[in-house]
Structure 1
């Protein structure tokens, strides 16, 4: 087997490191499954720890070594062309950085959330239910700042500024030129009523949501009114991420006081997809929901 690492093709070089890690992990997992090899067997052959292979297959590494990918290709009997593609993905992770890996912000982003940002930046569709906050992709700068000032008291101003910058940069996902992100948000009516910051902050925030829903055809918003009573979102917020490649299956992201993380388990994903579909059916349509947002804005 030729041990010279081939350079990435132009198409791969144009991809983001996050997308390359995700695609690489998915393909490596599929190759191992196809070869009918257990993870423990692969690790024994390569003298790797189990966690190393898991991180590769779940795209949990910031950088992937091409030599590691080549070693796996040799075990799985991968063709030269496929090897070139996979090592190309790894090369991109070594030669390019995603914005959330830059030194000025990476230390203020928790590991679990950092993994989510990479998924969010590469997703084709996001389905987000929120019960307490305005969805992150729809938050204004002052709303974000108010959250940190009220819910994270004692945080130095410099730390707050950097966290606000991270959240604002995330929102660039809504304005991608190459492949627009389809973002569907369902929010509990309590999100509209809970005053975060001043009345002026909330009024501006709700107007911002309405403006985005009006101006961006890829952003759709529904509100779950109090009058519905019990509903499938009462166990908490969640996000279902869907990707534009058949090899990348949907993922669920969950966040709470204990931490944050993603689940790729098919049963978990189906459960949250069903819950989101039920919420869509229960909530008023987009226009009626928009009217609710306008009404709440006026009341502030």
Structure 2
């Protein structure tokens, strides 16, 4: 539960509101189909509310749900406060400067990342976004879409840089663990100088931030649980009561998985990857060697 609603971010309020609304529905013994039938809503509207996907939430919608669920006055006031925050303030990624460059699926991830206490990611092809340099970002997007406008590439680089502030936030910086495939170190993205600077940046972050851990899965490890693709496991502060989630994306889509079964599957895969990956010091040595190759 959020103890100071006024100081909370809109993203946190959206997620907390959705979580509490779902808990209220389940406690009332109601299925989503029953609720939307009473309110004459589309099923997707209730789903978006419960998963925190809406950029802002109407207070009237929250009050209508509270009425159906029989929520007490204290709960109604708290949830109304959450909704109010989403209407009166915007997270940085929803401002006019950044919003045009952010896909809906990635917006959902930014909500989660900004609220998470711990992020564990396996990346098979790219340096994780929280560790990318501006030049590396430019190289990625210039390759991905040669017709992309310069201002759009600049926006993406600025988004990456702003995201990275979660690693250095004054209160409870994000605990970030990244496991990367050795191919990420060897593959040329942009000119050689771009790769050298990128790998040097990873080393700098590893050596200066106690909340950041990077490990490399070497080619010699053979087949491993990450061969199905990259993924991110997010865990949240205990006080919020939010369950861990998994995020994945590809060229066409992005998805957030919330079921306990899915989260356990990917959490187990991450643990197995950690077990076969090089330790932090060995990984550091491999990254330094890769710099020489570039």
Aligned mate of 2:83, from 90, 114, 122: 90
- Which residue of structure 2 aligns with residue 5 of structure 1? none
Could you tell me how far 1:10 is from its partner in structure 2?
A: 7.9
Deviations 1:84-142 (A, max 9, x none): 11111100000110001101210111110111111111111000000100000000000
Cα distance in 2 between the residues matched to 1:290 and 1:100: 32
Cα distance in 1 between the residues matched to 2:104 and 2:180: 26
Cα distance in 1 between the residues matched to 2:67 and 2:188: 58
Cα pair 1:174 1:180 within 8 Å, conserved? yes
- Which residue of structure 2 aligns with residue 259 of structure 1? 253
- Which residue of structure 1 aligns with residue 271 of structure 2? 277
**SS in structure 1 at match of 2:172:** coil
Q: In terms of mean alpha carbon deviation, does 189-198 or 243-252 score higher? A: 243-252
Cα pair 1:27 1:247 within 8 Å, conserved? no
Could you tell me how far 1:45 is from its partner in structure 2?
A: 1.7
Quick check: 1:166 aligned with 2:166? Answer: no
**SS in structure 2 at match of 1:107:** helix
**Count of aligned positions:** 292
Quick check: 1:247 aligned with 2:241? Answer: yes
Report the CA distance shift for 1:273/1:10 in structure 2 as closer, same or farther (over 3 A).
closer
**SS in structure 1 at match of 2:84:** helix
Cα pair 1:174 1:181 within 8 Å, conserved? yes
Q: 5 Å matches for 1:34-183?
A: 34-183=27-176
TM-score relative to the length of structure 2:
0.97
Cα pair 1:251 1:264 within 8 Å, conserved? yes
Quick check: 1:291 aligned with 2:279? Answer: no
- Which residue of structure 2 aligns with residue 6 of structure 1? none
Deviations 1:245-281 (A, max 9, x none): 3521111101112211111111111110000000000
**SS in structure 1 at match of 2:229:** coil
- Which residue of structure 2 aligns with residue 229 of structure 1? 222
Cα distance in 2 between the residues matched to 1:226 and 1:43: 51
Could you tell me how far 1:26 is from its partner in structure 2?
A: 0.5
Q: Specify every segment of 5 or more residues in structure 2 that has no aligned partner in the other structure, as ranges.
A: none
- Which residue of structure 2 aligns with residue 187 of structure 1? 180
- Which residue of structure 2 aligns with residue 3 of structure 1? none
Runs of 4+ residues over 6 Å off in structure 1? none
Cα distance in 1 between the residues matched to 2:144 and 2:30: 48
Q: 5 Å matches for 1:19-34?
A: 19-34=12-27
**SS in structure 2 at match of 1:222:** strand
Q: 5 Å matches for 1:196-235?
A: 196-235=189-228
**SS in structure 1 at match of 2:98:** helix
TM-score relative to the length of structure 1:
0.95
Cα distance in 2 between the residues matched to 1:281 and 1:228: 10
Q: Specify every segment of 5 or more residues in structure 1 that has no aligned partner in the other structure, as ranges.
A: 1-8
Cα distance in 1 between the residues matched to 2:179 and 2:200: 16
**SS in structure 2 at match of 1:33:** helix
Could you tell me how far 1:151 is from its partner in structure 2?
A: 2.1
C-alpha RMSD over aligned residues: 1.2
